[in-house]
Amino acid sequence: PAHAIGDVVRRVDASAGDALDKVYYPPVASVTVAYPKTAFHMPDLPGFGNLNPRTEGVRTLGTIWSSSLFPGRCPPDYNLLLNYIGGSRDVELGDLSHDEILQQVDRDLRLTLLKPDAPEPKLLGLRLWPTAIPQYEKGHQAILAALDACEAANPGLFLGGNYRTGVAFGDCVQFGLDHAAAVTDFLGGAGTTPEEAPSPQTAEEDSSAASLVTSR
């Protein structure tokens, strides 16, 4: 992530290091809970999940219906739910305890999916990510321009991560594949003449430089 690599890049390019420090990551918690199917308005939850507009007064961002997507994840008489809560418009979440986060998610589910008399949730997992997903805020294009200039001025330096080309899983995979090809071409001297091809010593130095590839 950008906040982890900024100090390293600053040794090579102060402007790029400063730009990486400007990428904002708000806190997000993932909370996995299970309830008996009898506790739901729709026991079989036919679908992918649900997103919650802020206008509905629900704090949880959204819920993935895991047991509907992946059969066998829980007993047949239960539904398994993966919830996300927090984000750039709810940074106060990062100050809550795990118990408080669980209670909030349970309250929200009772407003959306559960019957009022639903039993307490069975908690299977809760993780608070203080710096979760990079936000593409105003000024992000200037950050990307600084990173492009840094790479252009330092051949063999490759900066990669979801702060550059999107946070979706598919975008991250494609970016990784594209940059893997670029690193391979660089280390193999693709596009160079025999006179320009790196010497063994230079190739070793280039390999060290190319290893500075960050991931999500």
The DSSP symbol for 119 reads: P
Give 120-161 pLDDT, tens digit per residue. 999 999 999 999 999 999 999 999 999 999 999 999 999 989
Residue 190's pLDDT is 53
Q: Are 172 and 65 in contact (CB under 8 A)?
A: no
Residue listed under structure tokens 């900024």: 6
Residue 213's pLDDT is 35
Q: Identify the burial level of 194 via C-beta atoms within 10 angstroms of its C-beta, where 0-12 means exposed, 13-18 middle and 19 or more buried.
A: exposed
Give residues with Cβ within 8 angstroms of 41, minimum separation 6: 113, 114, 115
- Tell me the whole-structure pTM to 2 decimals: 0.78
Residue 165's pLDDT is 87
Residue 106's pLDDT is 98
Q: Identify the burial level of 95 via C-beta atoms within 10 angstroms of its C-beta, where 0-12 means exposed, 13-18 middle and 19 or more buried.
A: exposed
Residue 88's pLDDT is 94
pLDDT tens track, the chain, 216 positions: 999 999 999 999 999 999 999 999 999 999 999 999 999 999 999 999 999 998 999 999 999 999 999 989 999 999 999 999 999 999 999 999 999 999 999 999 999 999 999 999 999 999 999 999 999 999 999 999 999 999 999 999 999 899 998 899 999 999 999 989 999 999 996 544 445 545 544 444 444 333 333 333
Give residues with Cβ within 8 angstroms of 173, minimum separation 6: none
